[in-house]
Amino acid sequence: MASKKKEEELYKQGYRLVGSHSAVKACMWCKKSLKGEGHCYKEEFYDTKSHRCVQMTPALDFCNHRCVWCWRDIEFTKPKWEGDADDPKLIVDECIKANLKYLQGFGGNKRTVLKKYKEIGKPQQFAISLSGEPTLYPKLPELILELRRRGINQFLVTNGTQPSMLKKLLDKKAEPTQLYITLPAPSEEVYLKVCRPLIKGGWKRILKSMSLLGSFKRNVVRLTLAKKVNMVDASRYASLIKRYKPRYVECKAYMFVGYSQKRLKKENMPFHTEVKRFAEEIASISEYNIVDEKKESRVVLLSRD
């Protein structure tokens, strides 16, 4: 786990550390949903309830990218797994407890929707996406299976650099409810500039992971778009999308928040109208359709169906 000073910083930021290398953090939309003030775009797109979502990571300390748009503190993370790996059952139990404890104050808030508050102890899904790269966690298949055993959906978000782990998920019949792969750039040249990988052959690994998409029933390619950074060359993005045929494509704006403010400028954050125009260009070339959007989150959803 991170140093004592870093642990204190993370705690102040809303993280609750679990075991040796995991963490949970209730997101803004979870809190808003509890007060009846809206919900995450995933609830609109995929029918996942924001107030019953546990946002977590089993790999807080580990990531092999240093993406310029990342809102997390990426300086303390390591590119390779080190040390033992906690038991998945412990991670699930403690994440649920920590999330419930963090949100318990909403029980005394007059604006809280009581019905929703009573449901937070029974999560509908784990968003395995909070920080770090979850596919570096050696027991990821077992974590997915443990969540499935409890009837909890699993939304796995990965940077795509560990195709061997995606293959292992398939081999062990541990396919997550929904797999997200971030496509960070339209080309290797842009990828090297914006992701600053700490590994060799990262772009080839991402393309290998993209080639496995069709083996996962529910799969999404996510584009985190930053103006004048990677929000370029829509035709190349479209070409990759057309080649690998994901079920869904999310075009989402980079948000000028957190530690990313040290690397980028506010002008790099596109407006929703700009994201939609870029998505329309991709759609017209890739033969996908715009099927939904959420202006508050500056995100547009594409699908072939």
pLDDT average, residue stretch 112-137: 94
3-state DSSP assignment of residue 3: coil
List Cβ<8 Å contacts ≥24 apart for 269-276. Answer: 269/226, 269/227, 270/225, 270/226, 270/227, 270/231, 270/298, 271/298, 272/298, 274/227, 274/231, 275/225, 275/251, 275/299, 275/300, 276/251, 276/300
Residue 3 has pLDDT above 80, yes or no: no
Whether the predicted pLDDT of 133 surpasses 90: yes
pLDDT tens readout for residues 175-219: 999 999 999 999 999 999 999 999 999 999 999 999 999 999 999
Domains annotated on the chain, with CATH: 4-303 (3.20.20.70)
Q: What is the pLDDT of residue 1?
A: 61
Would you give the DSSP letter of residue 121?
T
Please list, in sequence order, all residues whose beta carbon lies within 8 angstroms of the beta carbon of residue 200, skipping any fewer than 6 positions away.
none
Question: Which of 301, 287, 178 lies closest to 250, judged by CA?
Answer: 301
Mean pLDDT of 5-20: 89
Please report which helix (H) or strand (E) contains residue 290, including its range.
Answer: strand 289-294
Write the pLDDT tens digit of every residue in 88-99.
999 999 999 999
Q: How confident is the model at residue 4 (pLDDT cuts 50, 70, 90)?
A: confident
Q: Which of 297, 304, 293, 295 is nearest to 45 (CA)?
A: 293
Please list the residues that pair with 123 across neighbouring strands. none
Pairing of strands 299-303, 289-294: antiparallel
pLDDT of residue 305 exceeding 80: no
d(CA 289, CA 101): 42
Instruction: Give the CA diameter of the chain.
Output: 53
Among residues 283, 281, 303, the alpha carbon closest in space to that of 292 is found at 303
CB atoms within 10 A of CB 176: 27
- Look up residue 98 and give its two tokens: 């920590």
Report the mean per-residue pLDDT for the chain: 95
pLDDT band at 76 (very low <50, low <70, confident <90, very high): confident
Q: How confident is the model at residue 2 (pLDDT cuts 50, 70, 90)?
A: low
Measured CA to CA, the distance from residue 42 to residue 126 in angstroms comes to 12
Task: Look at strands 248-253 and 299-303 and give their pairing.
Answer: antiparallel
CB 206 within 8 Å of CB 159: yes
Dihedral through CA 268, CA 290, CA 126, CA 264, nearest 10?
0
Q: How far apart are CA 303 and CA 291, in angstroms?
A: 6
- Are the beta carbons of 134 and 155 closer than 8 angstroms? no
